[in-house]
Chains A and B, each alone.
Chain A
């Protein structure tokens, strides 16, 4: 399980909603509207970058990056 702050998944839902609405406004053609399930699928997919935006404000994610940057994973084992 990925360690994160409790608010992060909730924030991700919020960002997913915003991204979905923006994309529908920009790309949906009046002659070819999204069906309900297609809209839900879009929302589900938008949850992924939404989680990314939420993780930008998450201290665990920042710490993880800092810790991994200290390690050279390509160093030969002796």
Chain B
């Protein structure tokens, strides 16, 4: 998933009160910031690859595992329990959003078995080719577009822009 992550992260922030037991408001700046950072965190594994510090195959490994989600939540817990809960859910939702890709996610790292729904072919971790070729396939439009529609309905239900 590429652009769809934006809609998914925002949609997660709309459930912040339910996820955090009322500690964080839906669509608040705090909710959006935490869910965005946590949701995009797994894809920061592209940075060491781009810098030449890691191989291409490093993408979608440790950062896309339950172990990583638990570690991030444990780090955030002493700082802010709401951030830990929202961050954990955002990470798990990121994994779910990436599951349709053929690359598969090693969710149970260090066990290396990868899990995939295989709805679209993965075409690399970054760059224009990866972006364009992703959107040559049906399911990316269906699921990522569906995420934006879902976000629209959530905005309507919660009563934020464009429904103020």
Contact = CB atoms under 8 A, between A and B. Distances in A.
Interface in B132-154: 132-133, 135-146, 148-149, 152-153
- Main SS class of interface, B: helix
Interface of B: 55-57, 59, 102-103, 120-125, 130, 132-133, 135-146, 148-149, 152-153, 156-157, 162-163
Nearest to A2: B136
A40 to B, nearest CB: 11
Contacts of A52: 138-143, 145-146
Contact of A48 (B124, B125, B149, B162): B149
Given A2-B135, A61-B136, A49 B162 contact: no
- Main SS class of interface, A: helix
Nearest to A77: B56
Contact of B103 (A2, A34, A41, A74): A74
A41 B152 contact: yes
A56 B145 CA distance: 14
Contacts of A78: none
The 10 closest A-B pairs by CB, nearest first: A48-B145, A52-B142, A52-B141, A55-B138, A68-B121, A49-B145, A73-B124, A64-B136, A74-B57, A49-B146
11 contacts: A23-B149, A41-B152, A42-B152, A45-B145, A46-B145, A51-B145, A52-B145, A61-B136, A61-B138, A68-B137, A69-B121
B140 to A, nearest CB: 7
A53 interface: yes
Interface string A1-13: 0110000000000
